[in-house]
A and B are shown apart, each in its own frame.
Chain A
Amino acid sequence: MTIYFKGGGLLKEYLKPDVDAYTRKVETTQGKTIREIMEQINLKPSLVSMAILSGKVIPMSYMPSEGDIITLRPPVQGG
């Protein structure tokens, strides 16, 4: 299964985008949570403050489907 993570700012250096400036293509298996997929690509969950799919906030326990484009939001860096 292929999904896409999008991320910028602080996350960019960790996400290592390969599709465009902000997007990384990830091959994974159905049934994994967002948190597990991040761990699969060595992306620390602590670097992500929020995950968004189709404009809506989704929990880290969400299990993506084929082709999902998930935006990962880094911490705000200071409030």
Chain B
Amino acid sequence: MIYGFGGQEVRINVSDKSVSKNNLNPDFARQWLGGRGFICKVLYDEVPRSVKAFDPENLLVVSPGILSGHFAPSGSKCCFGAVSPLSNGHGDSTVGGHFGPELKFAGIDLLIIKGIAETPSYIYIDDDTIEIRDAAKYWGKGSMDAEKMLKEDLGEDFQIVTIGPAGENLVTCACISHDYGRQAGRCGVGAVMGSKKIKAIAVRGTKSLPVYDLQKTKEVNLAIIKRTSVHPNMEPWQKYGTAMFVSWSNNNGVYPTRNFQTTYMENNEQLDGPELVDKLLVSHKACFGCWMNCGKYSKVTLPGKPTVYVEGPEYETNALCGGNCGFERIDEVAYNNWVCDNLGLDSMTGGGLAAFAMECYEKGLITKEQLEGHEMRWGHVEDFEHFLNMVTYRRGIGDWFADGLVPASKKIGGGSEKFAVQVKGQGMSGYDGRFAPAMLLAYMTADIGAHHNRAWTITLDDDIGRDVVKGKAKLVVYLQHIRPFFDTVSVCRLFWGEVDVTPEEHIDAIVMATGWNDFTLEEAMRTSERIWNLNRAHFLERNSAVSKNGRTFDYPNARFYEEAVPTGPGKGAKLTLEQLDLMLDEYYEARGWGKNGNPSREVLTDLNLTEVAANLEKAGMLGTLISPLPKVRGERYKPKAF
């Protein structure tokens, strides 16, 4: 038994239906903490570099971290990881809801799935019983439809993750869905699950988790509940969720509009949180152990369409399936959200793909004939839905887009790579970085590509200066350590960022759960940095045939350094390639990497990654320090005093 953990590592080879169980190694647990920490180490050590995302030797790794299932602020998360079909590097994505805790209650901290099933299957876990079962009746069904069928067949007390047709058809931005509308959306983890012919994982766990100091855990967390329940931010969160952020984003010139052509949208208040709540809300929805209930369950009735229910749209979907595709009505955006969810597409990259296609159509680079007689106009639900069905079922040119933004732009040509909005193949999150340079740097350097949850910087950009590029890199480094830490230990970061539960209180929660009395925030940040560097090395080793210099991969598409923002509060904002390079120089120096963007022996050694340094050296890819290694990498931002 290890306090805080379920205690088991389970390996399943779906090719031969073999299952093996081992006790979790306590040293491994302490060093990597769980969630994306466990996943990054398993992928680095066990997936040969020649293996591609859809090969049987790729692994789908599932891990709820230390605090998942515990009585900590929203210990609800579960992380899914694999070598990503988008980047050919480490990929991971985290989902809330109830799946992670249930897996812990079945005693599982780490689930490693290998191989390809002979026929469509699902993984059935009922405490110690683990079986690979036939999924023929669920295959081909939408994500949410399949979840409902499985609940009806197995019982409501099973927690279930599914993929949709997009995952079955290996669409590279396919997601893993859970709880009728939550997703592990990024990195194409759903496509990897589909490549293994696994439609779903269903789990029921009835065991208890061993807690080192249960009495203190109860006392401390009850105090946190009482304190945060009257926090001034709690009520708006409970009422509107992330959707309340839409107008702010627009009014501050970062809201992606029409495939990031501009950063401001007229009439944007029609997509804001109050519109969602007034017009569509059915009920609020919360994850395991959460009293914030930021999820908004909506009912959508559009003329000529079936009435659908969807969780959301939250901010990212609102931005990327909304203004970014030219939509101005909240009910239409919510319907688009449902289209993506049930097809099993990441609504962020799915929205990005649709917006890219709309701009290609506008510029005459794709035609009505290629779209099966349909158009691809801004703000048209029929066009949006038809196009994403073409992508999901790989019909016609939908097949190009199903392979991702970069492969599609290569086939389309006509300079379209300039506005295929991505970094490392990952479609960009819902903030334009031209008027927020640190945000752009955060996208450029994120280990999984252009994703906001590794670091979000826009208020920092605002405080230091929206046109300032110098001096922000070390602040981005700090955020890239603290923010993903919450995914590693599997609690919701909102309690940190929004209602003032401090990182130190999260460390206390870990100590109370595990009994690691010498565990500190400093150790947690070093672990987070170790994960970051391991993922970077993994990405470089896998992509060395393209370039041995990490810098090569750290640029966004050219729109972000060739075009000025044309309208709105950010009008005229423009970054140059030289400015991007300056930010990268500062960033690599702050990380203890070489000017080529590769980790140095010194920083890897300092992080106990000597074997990784040896691997990079053998491949001729070690970085050379730009200046003496900083003792602590990254710097916490302190707001200026007024």
Interface residues, chain A, with chain B CB atoms under 8 Å away: 6-10, 12-14, 16, 22, 42-44, 46-50, 52, 55, 57, 71-79
Q: Enumerate chain A residues within 8 angstroms of B487, measured Cβ to Cβ.
A: none
Docked Cα-Cα span, A48 to B642, in Å, equals: 16
Which among B236, B314, B316 has the greatest number of chain A C-beta atoms within 10 A? B236
Docked Cα-Cα span, A63 to B159, in Å, equals: 49
A75 touches B248 (CB 8 A): yes
Known: A8-B500, A44-B462. A74 touches B233 (CB 8 A): yes
Q: How many A-B residue pairs have CB under 8 A?
A: 87
Q: Enumerate chain B residues within 8 angstroms of A13, measured Cβ to Cβ.
A: 639
Docked Cα-Cα span, A71 to B499, in Å, equals: 14
B236 touches A73 (CB 8 A): yes
B315 touches A76 (CB 8 A): yes
Tell me whether chain B's interface is mostly helix, strand or loop, or mixed.
Answer: helix
Known: A57-B274, A78-B452, A78-B497. A46 touches B232 (CB 8 A): no
Question: Is residue B393 contacting chain A, with contact meaning CB distance below 8 A?
Answer: no
B232 touches A76 (CB 8 A): no
Question: Is residue B608 contacting chain A, with contact meaning CB distance below 8 A?
Answer: no
B233 touches A8 (CB 8 A): yes
Question: Is residue B550 contacting chain A, with contact meaning CB distance below 8 A?
Answer: no
Known: A8-B232, A10-B459, A46-B252. A75 touches B245 (CB 8 A): yes
Known: A50-B236, A79-B316, A79-B452. A8 touches B245 (CB 8 A): no
Q: Enumerate chain B residues within 8 angstroms of A46, measured Cβ to Cβ.
A: 251-252, 459, 462
B247 touches A78 (CB 8 A): no
Q: Enumerate chain B residues within 8 angstroms of A48, measured Cβ to Cβ.
A: 248
Question: Is residue B319 contacting chain A, with contact meaning CB distance below 8 A?
Answer: yes
B247 touches A49 (CB 8 A): yes
Taking A9-B497, A76-B242 as known contacts, 17 extra A-B pairs with beta carbons closer than 8 A to each other, sorted by chain A number, are A7-B232, A7-B233, A8-B499, A16-B642, A42-B642, A46-B459, A50-B244, A50-B273, A55-B235, A72-B232, A73-B233, A74-B233, A74-B459, A76-B248, A78-B456, A79-B242, A79-B314
B245 touches A79 (CB 8 A): yes
Docked Cα-Cα span, A47 to B640, in Å, equals: 13
A9 touches B245 (CB 8 A): no
Contact of A76 among B274, B498, B499, B642 (CB under 8 A): B498
Q: Enumerate chain A residues within 8 angstroms of B314, measured Cβ to Cβ.
A: 79
Q: Enumerate chain A residues within 8 angstroms of B315, measured Cβ to Cβ.
A: 76, 79
Contact of B497 among A22, A71, A77 (CB under 8 A): A77
Within 8 A of A (CB), among B201-243: 231-233, 235-236, 240, 242
B458 touches A75 (CB 8 A): yes
Question: Is residue B100 contacting chain A, with contact meaning CB distance below 8 A?
Answer: no
A71 touches B235 (CB 8 A): yes
Question: Is residue B453 contacting chain A, with contact meaning CB distance below 8 A?
Answer: yes
Which among A22, A44, A49 has the greatest number of chain B C-beta atoms within 10 A? A49
Among residues of B, the one whose C-beta sits closest to the C-beta of A10 is B459
Q: Mark B467-483, 1 if CB is under 8 A from A, else 0.
A: 00000000000000001
A9 touches B500 (CB 8 A): yes
Docked Cα-Cα span, A5 to B221, in Å, equals: 28
Question: Is residue B268 contacting chain A, with contact meaning CB distance below 8 A?
Answer: no
Q: What distance in Å separates the Cβ of B225 from its nearest Cβ neighbour in chain A?
A: 16
Q: Give me 12 A-to-B residue pairs in the complex whose CB atoms sit less than 8 angstroms apart, sorted by A's number.
A: A10-B497, A46-B459, A47-B462, A48-B248, A72-B232, A74-B233, A75-B248, A75-B459, A76-B244, A78-B456, A79-B316, A79-B431
B462 touches A14 (CB 8 A): no
Q: Enumerate chain A residues within 8 angstroms of B459, measured Cβ to Cβ.
A: 10, 46-47, 74-75, 77
Docked Cα-Cα span, A57 to B269, in Å, equals: 12
Q: Enumerate chain B residues within 8 angstroms of A16, measured Cβ to Cβ.
A: 642
Among residues of A, the one whose C-beta sits closest to the C-beta of B640 is A14
Within 8 A of A (CB), among B613-642: 639, 642
Docked Cα-Cα span, A55 to B234, in Å, equals: 12
Q: What distance in Å separates the Cβ of B101 from its nearest Cβ neighbour in chain A?
A: 23
Contact of A71 among B232, B248, B319 (CB under 8 A): B232
Q: What distance in Å separates the Cβ of B26 from its nearest Cβ neighbour in chain A?
A: 33
Docked Cα-Cα span, A17 to B231, in Å, equals: 13
Q: Enumerate chain A residues within 8 angstroms of B236, measured Cβ to Cβ.
A: 50, 52, 71, 73
Question: Is residue B429 contacting chain A, with contact meaning CB distance below 8 A?
Answer: yes
B244 touches A79 (CB 8 A): no
Q: What distance in Å separates the Cβ of B311 from its nearest Cβ neighbour in chain A?
A: 14
